[in-house]
Structure 1
Amino acid sequence: MVVVRDEEWLVRATEETPDGTLVHVQGLGELVRDTTASFYTQLDQVVVSDPAKARVVADASPRYRTARLWLESTLRKTAVPLGERSLSAATRGLADTLSYQQSAVRKALDPTNLRPRILLADAVGLGKTLEIGMILSELVRRGRGDRILVVTPRHVLEQMQHELWTRFALPFVRLDTAGIQRVRQKLPATRNPFTYYRRAIISIDTLKSDRYVASLRRQRWDAVVIDESHNLSNAATLNNRLARLLARNAEALILASATPHNGKAESFAELVRLLDPSAVPPSGVLDREEVRRLVVRRHRHSPEVANAVGADWAERQEPHNVLVPATPAENAVAHELEHTWLWPDNGASPYSGPRAAFFPWTLAKAFLSSPAALQETIDGRIDRVAKDRAVPADRAQIELRALRHLRQLNEQTMRQPSAKYTRLVAYLKEIGVGPGSPTRVVVFAERLETLRWLHRSLPKDLGLPANAVELMHGGLTDDEQQGVVERFKQEQAPVRVLVTGDVASEGVNLHAQCHQLIHYDIPWSLIRIEQRNGRIDRYGQKHPPRITALLLDPNSERFAGDVRVLAKLIDKENEAHTALGDVASLMGRYDVKGEENEIRSVLAGTKQLDDVIRPVAEVAAGNDLAALFAQLFDAPGQAATEPVAPQTATEPGDAGSGLYDDEVSYLEEALREAFVDPTAPPARGGVGWRRDEAFGTAELTPPPDLVQRLDVLPQSYLAERKVTERLVLATTTARGQERLAAALRDHSGTTWPDAHYLSPLHPVLDWAADRALAALGRNEVFAVRGTVDDPTVLLVGTLTNKRGQVVSTAWLTAQFPDPETPSFVLITPHDSVRAALQELGFTTPRANPGAVPATDHLQPLVAPAVHQAAAYLEKNVFEAASRDAQQRVETWRRKLDTWDEGANVLIRRSDVQASRARIDEERELAESMAPARQLVRPLLVVVPDTEGQSK
């Protein structure tokens, strides 16, 4: 509690800014109740209420409802200490809390680190988004998650927002095209949007533009998440510039990528340096232990994962490669490509450009994709040659004649059914795609013209309506891409076939209704194949995924050999997926382009396939840098981390004190306290509260101050589900899971559930807590009866660092055997607040025979209780906690000093100078993490229950 401008406020969060400490508060006094405000300590006098001067007031409410609510709300607002090892919120959302995911959360929150920094490098499909949500939930509960920025590729913006809200009750504003437009209408052009929205999700393509850089420089974040972070490692890119800016201005940093290594030590070092600049020595040589500290990496067949996922991740079937004999017209094109372009009979390619070794294979790749793709490639090249004045006329004419002849042959293929397309249609029918069937399939192709051709042709040939075949490609807006993905997830949506390019190969979950995937053309990259397959082969897949590849098989000898090379890529990916979980290590290139160039060399005959793709056994036993990453975090036959036992709901660190059986009971009591009759409609002073215990739901009409807290959610969701008119809550995990699954089956056209799970971090509970805390006047504490022999004061002590973060928490009772001699105090520590409340007899509702009379005689007990408890904590608890925290800070200082010593030798290098600036910032951060202040607050005054009242 603080007093500002002669009004009392509840402190909701504080943050350090370039302009000083900013205190975010909720009004408690009559004039400012339900008002939120922010005050700078440099501009306003912010006076912290003195706990020793708290005034004792009696609670006359039925069954001590007001005191119980105030106490529970206070404890919910008290941050869990930074070093708390049990998970307080991560395991209480609407997500399966798998042991390997919990171990990733614990690693991110390891108190030996200066701050939470981690690279989630789990292989495709393990649920990195859920790990992100779990980490953010813990940060919020620990008072370190007020301001959060999530950066993702634009096609997964809604998916990320959906997961964080539906599973963890974390509301984020989505700044996609529609969201940004809404911001422009709502805020002045000069207003920084990141000061208005505390939690936002935005695409990296939007955020990296110069328009936002100036705004970001002035913002500090409690946590920043960057998904698909392998796109950050090149120091010369705008992506990296953005990442470095965010890393410097964020306390917690979570990077996520299934393919974080591109084979170059300096690139991977750049990612590690973003997390912790001191983790990479000035020499740039990676330290294995530092990498282990900052990176978590598992795959589908890691023992830790395999033992946890069970039937919720069905094993994929063996690859299904279908060789499709080419038609005579297609064979004619293949022969022309072979003898004129790829391996010219006269030894001279007709190509007149500078990329003579590459363009013929561009033609070949287009041909293997579709006649439409080849036509587009030929026409585009003809147009460029005709306009290029730098090409000698005779060379241009030779190439144009060859291109026109190839186009003429290709036109013959377009006048008759394509062999591969005909086989695709037949295969789709074989697996059940057709009228009246629920079977769904995703078809991947690389070329846009191929996608458009499939999108146009498949509905008619499958006997399906036009909207049964959806098209997704990179040319669509973010709203359009997100809409396609959402429809494919919905059981009642008419879509049956999704044809898409590699824009959907990263981050998108397509397994909700689908376990069939077809490679209409095969990428010349193991990484890309793995990324595609991971869209349906992931945690939550109930049916064995089936991966099918269609390969056009021409009768020309050399071309047919190339097709078989591509078929081997599918088999190699499957082998590495099973044995290593890391296909990139087979080729050691770690990026799609590098792998494509290697495969092109194999097809051109300059290399053998065995030269560019190493055997799995060799990779597993290797000791070079490329192989190291495959082994580093998960040695064969050994779990990467120790198994984590399931956590119970009453472990220390859980939200609140356990005064209520569940979240909905607490909410209901808060509503009864805030409204005379919460079941009455709003017009009569209520919120229309309804609770159905048998069905596991509750609902209310949100008041304006609650609507304001939900306004960041998608406007379409709020409108379609009428959330701001009638908020429906699922009060059990079973009901929450059922409504979330039902959203994929109903006819609403949205995957957002009609009833949202009431988890501990839900905004409606935060709103209820704020209302309950407003029940007391300025610096007051309740007096109640309990099972004590003497008057007893319940207190909480907190040790905070210079940043205002809670380092340690302690629960105590101060007993006064002789109230007439308040200087005689017996201080008793307790393991948890629940243990203390049990001793006081206040864990269950008690009948209240009336307000405790004459509380004046209790007032003299408060100050001695606070002072004696503070002295006890300083000597017996906080001294050790402070020493432990100080030791961690000192360890970090020594680490920074070691880095400095190594940098002195290389100080002339510009990159070392830039890193030294980061190291200096780390040193300042370390100083601010040192313990700085202890505070003891009275929570309750309990007098003997002399009237023998029972429960």
Structure 2
Amino acid sequence: MNAVVFAPGDMVRARGREWIVLPSPGEGMLNVRPLSGSDDDAQIIIPELESSPVEPASFAAPTADRLDTQDGAQLLADALRLSLRRGAGPFRSAAHLGVEPRAYQLVPLMMALKLHVARLLIADDVGIGKTIESGMILREWLDRGLVDRFAVLCPPHLVDQWVTELAEKFDIDAVAVTAAKARGLERGLPTSQSLFDAYPFTVVSLDYIKADSRRDEFARACPPFVIVDEAHSCVGNERGKHQRYDLLERIATDPERHLLLLTATPHSGDVVAYDRLLGLVHKELAGGPNGGDANARERYARRLAQHLIQRRRPDIQDGWDERRAFAKHETKESPFTLNGDFASFQEEVLDYCFTVTERAGTDQRYRRLAFWGTLALMRCVGSSPAAAVSALSNRLSGMAEEGAIEPVVFDAEDGMLIESDIEPATAIEDSEETAALRALIERAQSLASRTAQDPKLKQLLAELRPLMQAGAKPVIFCRFIATAEALGEVLRVEFPKAALAVVTGALAPDERRNRVEALDVSNNRILVATDCLSEGINLQSLFDTVIHYDLSWNPTRHQQREGRVDRFGQQAPIVRSLMMYGENSAIDGAVLDVILRKADEIRKATGVAVPMPEDQESVTSALMQAVMLRRGGNAKSQLTFDFGPAAQRFERQWRDTAENAKASRSRYAQGALKPDEVLPEWNKMRALNGGPTEVARFTERALQRLGAPLEKLADHARLHIDFLPDAMRDRLGQRGLKGTRRISFLDDPNPGVTHVGRVHPAVAIMAETLAEGALDPQAAEGKALGRAGVWRTRAVAQMTTLLLLRLRYQLVTSGRTNRLLLAEEATAVAFAGLGTEPIAFADQALALLEQAASSDIDTDARLRQIDNAHSRLPSYTSAIEAFAQTRAETLSYDHIRLTEAAGGGATVKVSPVLPADIIGLYVLLPELN
């Protein structure tokens, strides 16, 4: 006797319960999900090894023994819709998204759908939403069954941010792989098994994985889908490649591996590095745009248009009419004047620095070290007296390597912004300096104790007081730990009613995040932070103002600081940034003239912002020259330092870099896809799965039923998690949710209010629990929802039987790869009187559940009505099957429309799996009078 063959969507009975068959991993195996469970509960069954045979099963229809009210019917319909995760529409990922994407954010997804292998360079500006764009592609590929493993490679300070974003926005639980966590992940694994085999979803620190041994392991076990954040930092420069590029090059050699490269600065003027970056997404792009004849150049341009998406914020606001997606950005400069002992101290430090530099003589090594040490020390002195004390004290420790000082000066190392905020040891080992250093330290300590007289701090308070009174929520960025901590002490006294946190690199990443999140409880908040937070933790939900207390000597750092607050998801109408500097400070003045104002001038002239050239010797010389000129340096000193043409060369290189970047952007900007090609199918799918209206309705009703009613206020609501049943409360606690949360169902809530969508843990857990409890009352927590009901309403003219359905479909993709997938949707159909032809389908039928009941019916009458309706169910079978077939044809057509809009790709055929599941049975009676 031949064994029964089961297909995805079939219902089977095994081990004493019913299961739904999912796509199976191999022949002779069944991948099954409990009838009332989620995909997380799926198991693999080998029928030949089961003690009892696996048999076909059918779903039991509702009966009169489980009656419920109209409220219960409405709740079950929404719970069923919101608990389903395998959408049948062309955007399979829609059911898993916890974010409402803007139209422009769908473009990378549409571009990826065109490609057999998704390889894109997503180069949108800072704050536009590259994480959302790449996460949507990843979620879609997972839900289509195209991949079952992935890795995100990113700088170490972004690892936790990525893990959080994947969980909250895309319903994906990934593990962080860093130097600190890898050993724990590997514990207990067989020696032959890589952690990348054991953990299918990972977010990996680039610093951890770039080492030779780990690089080899990752290349061997690399998942089929890889996202690389800050990809520009991985390609080296015109002087050579480095370890990160070697890793990406090996990953890219597999032509079937999906690869998304994310960067806000793809072209920094370094043509060689840019070509390397493009060569990773497609080998034909590695040679640049100017090689070969006219046909070759045209092929290059067409290929680049397939793989590059690059938009500035004005492109989004004007071309896509998305001005509401971003706040208005107001900038202001706030100069202050150094005076008295604070001014003379800076002059004394500068005299000391130039004495050290002159003493270096002609020895090039000592000369370079003296230059770097001078600049590093000046950075600390310009930051605060507290930072000066720390830096001068560290200088007594002796030698420091040039390579260790350079990143401190320019906030960058090997193409990446650094987060080190420790005052450097910068000294040349010279006993003659000891006395001078001790005297300067004593002066700095004296100034540090006189905060009330500090001109810089006084200016900050003058700016901060009106901002706080106006309701601003500022982040104050400092360069060094000592400055941040000293500033925090002062601000706690000045603003005793404000919640204030100081976050520096002295804290572990988890503690940094905890301190920031702890400010959420107060609407009056201040954050003082070093640049350890200028990347890695998005701050737009809690803050709307950025104050540059210390100038960064790298303009890219300023952009990153402001980009933490001024980005997609910021709900304040205006974002403010304020830049402080000493107007009579030789240090601040030199940085403004040589770097920051020059960067702004180049950006305005060319329309693009690019990093400084990597010729740091020229930058150093230009800064030193500017400091000398501002101090009125004498001819002897100018001659001694002999800066030569370095400053002019630096400016010329920077302008050339910007022009190259401008030419690249204007030549290959992506503008092919328009909103009307994307949105119809997306909106249809979101409505089918349940959008903001359905989420809000369900959440309010569910909380009322569970005894934890939502507290509704003018512009948001309060969710009291501690009042929920124990099991739900525990599950939410495991996701970090407890106590009272301020929530909104709008996708653009006010600052400090959390957006709650269909995959928010509170919604997902309540929907799953209530739907599962209705299907399996024995496992329900508390009283389970009933599956049948009767009520009178003026919305119908005759008796109407309404069936709440769960339809299952098989999706067969055909293209270069054929796949069989399972999809589900919740819907309804209604019949009038004793007729067997439906009078309403889908949304029209579900809308009948929302029409108000007009009067009650006694229990016996309700039981009779349900028994009679149950006996009519066989007569509805052909109509239900015809409806399911029509829905499948409609879904197939929707897939075709999306394929055509994307410009090609695999086609999808949708077929119903019958019989359909009748989840709810309701009889609506007309009002008698």
Could you say whether these structures have the same fold, taking a TM-score greater than 0.5 normalized by the shorter chain as the test? Answer: yes
The SS at the match of 2:331 is coil
* Counterpart Cα distance in 1 of 2:473 and 2:876: 71
TM-score normalised by the chain length of structure 1: 0.65
User: How far apart in 2 are the matches of 1:206 and 1:303?
Assistant: 36
CA spacing shift, 1:56–1:546, aligned 2, 3 Å? closer
1:304 aligns with 2:317: yes
Aligned AA (2:330): R
Cα separation, 2, equivalents of 1:15 and 1:601: 65
Residue ranges of structure 2 left out of the alignment (5+ in a row): 1-9, 290-298, 382-387, 403-426, 625-642, 780-786, 791-795
Whether 2:109 is the aligned partner of 1:108: answer: yes
SS for the counterpart of 1:850 is helix
C-alpha spacing 1:383/1:526, structure 2 compared with 1 (3 Å): closer
Match of 2:663 in 1: 628
Q: Does 1:520 align with 2:563?
A: no
Task: Give the whole-Å Cα distance in 2 for the aligned partners of 1:617 and 1:196.
Answer: 49
Task: Please list, as runs of the form range in 1=range in 2, the aligned pairs for 1:143-542 lying within 5 A after superposition.
Answer: 153=155, 155=157, 168=169, 170=171, 172=173, 175=176, 205=207, 226-233=228-235, 236-237=242-243, 241=247, 255-265=261-271, 267-268=273-274, 271-272=277-278, 277-278=281-282, 280-281=284-285, 287-302=300-315, 304=317, 308-309=322-323, 313-322=327-336, 324=338, 327-328=343-344, 330-338=346-354, 341=357, 344=358, 349-350=360-361, 354=365, 356-357=367-368, 359-370=370-381, 371-372=388-389, 375=392, 378-382=395-399, 400=430, 403-404=433-434, 407=437, 410-411=440-441, 414=444, 417=447, 422-432=454-464, 442=475, 444-446=477-479, 448=480, 451-452=481-482, 455-456=485-486, 459=489, 471-486=502-517, 491=522, 496=526, 498-501=528-531, 504-505=534-535, 508-509=538-539, 512-513=542-543, 515-523=545-553, 525-538=554-567, 539-540=570-571, 542=573
- Deviation per CA, 1:545-592: give whole Å up to 9, x if none: 2432425857xxxxx59943643522234445667664217x5x4xxx
Instruction: Work out which of the residue numbers 753, 769, 776 in structure 1 matches 2:771.
Output: 769
Query: Do the aligned partners of 2:95 and 2:686 also contact (CA within 8 Å) in 1?
Result: yes
Q: Secondary structure at the residue paired with 1:364? A: helix
In the superposition, relative to structure 1, how do residues 487 and 826 fare at CA in structure 2: closer, same or farther (>3 Å)? closer
Name which of 101, 125, 128 aligns with 2:127: 125
Shift of 1:770: 3.5
- The correspondence of residues 516-915 of structure 1 with structure 2, limited to 5 A, is 516-523=546-553, 525-538=554-567, 539-540=570-571, 542-543=573-574, 545-551=576-582, 563-564=589-590, 566-575=592-601, 582-584=608-610, 587=612, 589=613, 594=614, 596-603=616-623, 605-607=643-645, 611-613=649-651, 622=659, 624=660, 626-631=661-666, 642=674, 651-654=683-686, 656=688, 662-663=694-695, 665-666=697-698, 687-690=706-709, 706=728, 709-710=731-732, 712-714=734-736, 717-718=737-738, 721=739, 730=743, 732-733=745-746, 737=749, 741=752, 762-774=764-776, 797-801=809-813, 802-805=818-821, 833-834=842-843, 850-851=865-866, 853=868, 859=874, 862=877, 866=881
Q: Look up the match of 2:4.
A: none
Greater mean deviation of Cα atoms: 53-62 or 358-367? 53-62
- Post-superposition Cα deviations, 1:419-461, rounded to whole Å, max 9, x if no partner, equal 9993312212322469998877655455x5xx32563477369
SS at match of 2:684: coil
The answer on whether the counterparts of 2:157 and 2:509 sit within 8 Å (CA) in structure 1 is yes
Deviates more, 1:418-427 or 1:543-552: 418-427
CA distance in 1, matches of 2:928, 2:137: 42
SS at match of 2:866: coil
| Contact 2:610–2:657 (Cα < 8 Å) also in 1 | no
- Unpaired runs of at least 5, structure 1: 386-396, 555-559, 672-677, 680-686, 723-727, 743-751, 820-824, 893-928
The answer as to whether partners of 1:70 and 1:775 remain within 8 angstroms in 2 is no
Secondary structure at the aligned position of 1:400 is classed as coil
2 CA distance for matches of 1:113 and 1:492? 47
Deviations 1:287-343 (A, max 9, x none): 4444444444333444626953459623322444556477445434434544662xx
Shift of 1:730: 4.9
1:531 to partner: Cα distance:
2.2
Supply the distance in 2 between the matched residues of 1:661 and 1:332 (Cα, whole angstroms). 66
Q: Give the 3 Å change call, closer, same or farther, for CA 534–791 of structure 1 in structure 2.
A: closer
Amino acid at match of 2:317: E
Q: Structure 1, residues 854-883: CA drift from partner, whole Å, max 9, x if none?
A: 9678648748975x7898899x77887898
Per-residue Cα deviation, 1:89-127 (whole angstroms, up to 9, x for no partner): 76x75x6x6xxx431234324532346665543323335
Which amino acid in structure 1 is aligned with residue 662 of structure 2? A
- Over 3 Å counting, the alpha-carbon distance change for 1:886 and 1:298 in structure 2 is closer
Task: Give the letter aligned to residue 545 of structure 1.
Answer: R
Aligned residue-pair number: 814
Secondary structure of 2:528's partner? Answer: strand
Give, in angstroms, the shift of residue 39 of structure 1: 1.0
What amino acid sits opposite 1:241 in the alignment?
L
TM-score (norm 2): 0.66
Output one character per residue of 1:124-157: Cα deviation in whole Å (capped at 9) or x when no partner. 3335455567667777887889977666555556
Match of 2:632 in 1: none
- Residues 763 and 9 of structure 1: is their aligned pair in 2 closer, same or farther, counting only changes over 3 Å? same
Matched residue of 2:447: which SS?
coil
Q: Is the 8 A contact 2:718 2:742 kept in 1?
A: yes
Task: Look up the equivalent residue of 1:317 and give its one-letter code.
Answer: T
In 2: Cα distance, 1:382 partner to 1:313 partner = 48
**Aligned to 2:512, what secondary structure does the other structure show?**
helix
Matched AA of 1:713: R
Q: Per the alignment, in what secondary structure is the counterpart of residue 316 of structure 1?
A: strand
Residue pair 2:121, 2:309 contacting (<8 A) in 1 also: yes
Q: CA deviation at 1:236?
A: 4.1
